[in-house]
Structure formats: C-alpha cells, structure tokens
C-alpha cells in the first residue's frame, strides 16, 4: 500500500516551513561547486537526461541544467508541494527551459511517464531521510538506463561540524539532529554502510570519497542554527530533546555568528558514485 503524503513528509525530519525553504536555497548555493565537480567527474554530457531526487526549492537543478545544456533534460522531484512550487518559480525566473519539477516520491515514480530512462540521478541529504537508504538507491536505479549513474552526497553522523576555535555546541547540535533522523528515518549507521550495500546489490561502486566545506562563521553558524530550528518540532515529538534545550542550543549557535570565530564547517558528506550494470 502506498504511503500517505503525511507519511512521506515524515521521512524528512525538518519542518518544510518558508524559513526552511530559505535555508535550503542557501545550502543549494553553497553546494553548487562540489555538485558540479562530482557530476563532471562521472562524465555528465550535453544532451543527458538527469534526475534530482528530493530537489527541494532548488537542489542541483541549476547545476544540472548547465551541464546537460539545452538539448538535455533535468527533472526534479520532491514530495513537498511548497518546495516544488518554490522550485518552479525559481526555475522560471532563471530561464531554465530544460528543467521540469514535479511533486512525486521516487518509490512510486513511473520512469516511462517521465519520458523514459535517465542517464544519471543525484541525491543530496535525501537518502539519509529514508527508512532504508540502500533500498531507495535500488529503487532509483530502476529509473536509469543500463550503465546509468547515481551520485549521492549524504551527511555522516561523524565527524560533526567543526569551528575555529572549537565550539562544543556544534557537536551537541549535530548529534541531536542526527539522533532525530535515525529515530524517524534511516536506522543507525545505514548511511555509513551505503558503499558496501550498493556493492552487494550489484552496483559498480566507482568512487567513494568524502568532503566538507569551510565557510565564513556568519553563514556557517546561521545554516546550523536554522537547521536546528527546522528540526525542533520533530526533536520534541520524538523525545530526543526538549524545546528549552533546543532553544538554548540555537541561541548559542546564533551568538557565535557575532564574532570570535575564524571559520566553521559544513557536515562531512559521504560522496558516492555508483553505476548500474551495463546491458
């Protein structure tokens, strides 16, 4: 039986508010260069058909549109109506005529209804919100041509974000947020084991690396504080933390924006590139 929209949204543990969409737009801008590099590394070419799973209000859509060119096609899917509406508005404003965005869940998606098999699919901070990330990886593979690619950038629980000088609140916040993710979505350790499980499932694991970004404190602490705020209601509902605990932690992260820090990092991402078996 198909999940309800509410059940699908519950896999995304943040709140999908307008403030959260703004946070996701900042994240898309910050992540553009690592995404571009990863897609170039697997040989994305003009004319390819590519899919962004869980694209949010922008995701990798603009980067993908650039790489596949006017003869290619980009499809973004997300199960949040608000995120898709925002994405459509941005795509229109940017004049990305080769991009289409739909409200959909990859587990229910009919590839033929979207015009046939894709050459590549991309995920960022998407598989970590799935009950079984490896199973979702397999489902995405059914939408690809033989020999098609999946590039995944998924945040790991460890190591947590860092700053100079060190701020213990960053570790506390990240452990709290990841505890919510693992309680409501992916089970503990399931993102870490993705390369092994992908290999066991018959994928060719072409590249397994990792990366983080060092960003200015004002931007970095704002993104972390906004992420914590977006996860507040789910953290309370799941019993991971109280509202007072979250508010105090957010105040500490916000205060760090005001000065005294040299830099702050993003989460550490597992960067995985896998290929389906050729025909």
* CATH number of the domain enclosing 41: 3.40.50.150
The 10s digit of each residue's pLDDT in 15-54 is: 455 676 677 678 888 899 999 999 999 999 999 999 999 9
How many structural domains does the chain have? 1
Does the residue 204 lie in any domain? yes
Range of the domain at 136: 5-159+185-214+265-275
Does the residue 36 lie in any domain? yes
The 10s digit of each residue's pLDDT in 68-127 is: 999 999 999 998 898 899 889 888 888 999 999 999 999 988 888 888 899 999 999 999
Does the residue 16 lie in any domain? yes
Does the residue 107 lie in any domain? yes
The 10s digit of each residue's pLDDT in 219-237 is: 999 999 999 998 999 999 9
Does the residue 226 lie in any domain? no
The 10s digit of each residue's pLDDT in 120-159 is: 999 999 999 999 999 999 999 999 999 999 999 999 999 9
Does the residue 245 lie in any domain? no
Beta bridge pairs of residue 127: none
Does the residue 197 lie in any domain? yes
Does the residue 250 lie in any domain? no
């Amino acid at each position: 039986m198909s999940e309800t929209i509410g059940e699908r949204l519950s896999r995304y543990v943040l709140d999908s508010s307008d403030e959260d969409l703004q946070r996701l737009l900042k994240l898309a801008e910050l992540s553009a260069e690592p995404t571009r590099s990863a897609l170039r590394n697997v040989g994305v070419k003009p004319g390819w058909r590519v899919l962004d799973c869980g694209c949010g209000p922008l995701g990798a859509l603009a980067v993908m549109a650039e790489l596949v060119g006017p003869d290619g096609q980009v499809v973004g899917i997300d199960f949040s109506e608000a995120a898709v509406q925002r994405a459509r508005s941005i795509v229109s404003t940017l004049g990305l005529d080769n991009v289409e965005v739909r409200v959909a869940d990859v587990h229910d998606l009919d590839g033929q209804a979207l015009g046939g098999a894709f050459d590549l699919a991309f995920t960022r901070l998407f598989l970590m919100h799935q009950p079984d990330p490896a199973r979702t990886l397999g489902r995405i593979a059914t939408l690809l041509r033989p020999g098609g690619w999946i590039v995944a950038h998924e945040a790991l629980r460890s190591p947590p974000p860092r700053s100079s000088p060190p701020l213990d609140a960053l570790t506390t916040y990240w452990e709290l947020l990841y505890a919510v993710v693992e309680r409501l979505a992916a089970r503990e350790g399931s993102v870490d084991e993705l390369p092994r499980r992908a290999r066991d499932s018959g994928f060719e694991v072409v590249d397994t690396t990792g990366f983080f970004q060092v960003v200015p404190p004002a931007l970095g602490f704002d993104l972390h504080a906004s992420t914590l705020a977006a996860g507040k209601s789910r953290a309370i509902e799941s019993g991971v933390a109280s509202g007072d605990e979250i508010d105090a932690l957010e105040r500490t992260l916000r205060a760090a924006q005001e000065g005294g820090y040299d830099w702050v990092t993003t989460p550490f991402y597992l960067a995985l590139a896998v290929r389906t078996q050729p025909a």
